[in-house]
Structure 1
Amino acid sequence: MRNFFKEFKSFAIKGNMIDLAIGIIIGTAFNNVVNTLVSKIIMPPLSLMTDDVNLSNKKWVLREASEKFEEVAIGYGELIEALVDFCIIALTIFVMVKFINRFKEKAEDPANKDVETPKNIALLSSMEKLLQEQNNILKNKK
């Protein structure tokens, strides 16, 4: 049991766990922003274009409500809103990842002097140069 807690502590303290927690918190906040964007900014003009049809109220009634039974309906309007939410989130994440990858590629290029190269990439680059020099020396000795 002590080993289990030791492993969990090492897992929880690692940067990946903290990065994951930060990502979840930011993702939750971002979800609220996108929901508001869709429901308050995108859907009202869409509703005007469709003669004041509110998509979230659209449903396909399978059974009408009566004294004995509740209404049974498929709410396809909410599905459409959820799909719009998903598309906006997916597009935004795609643009952000593309933007971040552009800077990451510049930072990982040791020849690029505009961006400071991370120490691990610079170290690997210098090790590569040393190995190439060593190989050239060994080739010349033969």
Structure 2
Amino acid sequence: MQPGSRKQGVFSTALHHLTLFFEQFKSFIKRGNVLELAVGVIIGAAFGKIVSSLVSDIVMPPLGMLLAKLDFRQLKLVLREARGGEPPVTINYGVFLSTILDFLIISVVIFFLVQAVQRLHRKPTAPNPETRECPRCVQVISRRATRCPHCTTEFEESGAEATASLRSGV
């Protein structure tokens, strides 16, 4: 066996595996869910930045002004003061409060979006088989009724095939 042919065999096997990988990857991407998920993640990240800006740049400054010019992001509990060249050890609960507010705003907005989408996809309810409309007053009545309790129209028979007999004179 010549040294060049061995390299060529390894190269052709690698090329085959690479081609197979890209074919599988292409079919994976074409499923549709992956692209929708990727778009959702990108839009979600951008939306998160918008909400963070809303909280830190628009909501918190007036809130801090109302609370004696307090900057929430600067609120912290110092566990150890700075020593030499080391920074202080702190618990930054102000940043945490801002993050909680971000989360709450995002949660409320997503809740309303989901509610709106569910309203759009809601199937119309089927009519109740136990009721029907009175042909005279258009009120919902029992399918077994022989007289409408609203307008007193009498029906010749009860049931689904009942027809109104407008003998009531109303």
Normalising by the residue count of structure 2, what TM-score does the alignment of the two structures yield?
Answer: 0.59
The residue aligned with 1:73 is 90
**Deviation string, structure 1 residues 86-128 (Cα, Å, up to 9, x no partner):** 000011001001100100114xx497xxxxxxxxxxxxxxxxx
Structure with the larger RCO, 1 or 2 (CA within 8 Å, 6+ apart): 1
C-alpha distance in 2, partners of 1:110/1:12?
37
C-alpha distance in 2, partners of 1:71/1:25?
36
The residue aligned with 1:49 is 66
The residue aligned with 2:112 is 95
Paired positions, count: 109
Superposition RMSD in Å: 1.9
Code of the residue aligned with 2:119 in structure 1: it is R
The residue aligned with 2:39 is 22
C-alpha distance in 2, partners of 1:28/1:48?
29
Q: CA deviation at 1:80?
A: 0.3
C-alpha distance in 1, partners of 2:94/2:20?
51
Gaps of 5+ in 1: 112-142
The residue aligned with 2:143 is none
The residue aligned with 1:40 is 57
Q: CA deviation at 1:3?
A: 5.0
The residue aligned with 1:84 is 101
Label 1:68 to 1:110 Cα distance change in 2 as closer, same or farther (>3 A): closer
Identity fraction in percent: 41
Code of the residue aligned with 1:96 in structure 2: it is L
Code of the residue aligned with 1:100 in structure 2: it is V
Code of the residue aligned with 2:65 in structure 1: it is L
The higher radius of gyration belongs to: 2
C-alpha distance in 1, partners of 2:106/2:125?
34
Q: CA deviation at 1:82?
A: 0.3
Code of the residue aligned with 1:41 in structure 2: it is I
C-alpha distance in 2, partners of 1:36/1:5?
40
The DSSP-based 3-state class of the residue aligned with 1:65 is: coil
Q: CA deviation at 1:8?
A: 2.4
Q: CA deviation at 1:31?
A: 1.1
Query: Going by fraction, where is strand more abundant, 1 or 2?
Result: 2
Code of the residue aligned with 2:44 in structure 1: it is G
